[in-house]
Homo-oligomer: A and B are copies of this chain.
């Protein structure tokens, strides 16, 4: 997949990254786990609004892609810790450039939206 080095090939590569971190909670989890080991319930508290189901699913996917490491302590009650791998930390570094872009153009986007919505709701009646 993503053959050649044309424009669409690069677009394809970007898409693969987005498939990995595009989920609603992925980024938030990676960020938390980048600060150090976090436990399941701790994540549940810090990611406001996440359901148990989605937390589990997202954790599994991130673990599968090698972005998170899962450590089980065979104690009673059970204790499981999640830590971001170096690869994940590096990923978040590159996401910072995205944040910068978003902050630079925040107003521009808001304006564009407002103008678009105003245009669309106004039937150009003449």
Contacts and interface: CB of A to CB of B under 8 A. Distances in A.
Interface of A: 7-8, 10-18, 20-22, 24, 27-28, 30-32, 34-35, 46-47, 63-66, 87, 90-91, 94-105, 108-109, 111-113, 116-117
B109 A65 contact: yes
Given A22-B18, A87-B108, A108-B87, A31 B11 contact: yes
Top 4 nearest A-B pairs by Cβ distance?
A66-B112, A64-B116, A11-B31, A94-B97
B7 A35 contact: yes
When all copies of this chain in the complex are counted, the total is 2
Main secondary structure of the interface of A (DSSP, over half): helix
Contacts of A21: 18
A58 to B, nearest CB: 13
A38 to B, nearest CB: 11
A93 to B, nearest CB: 9
Contacts of A20: 109
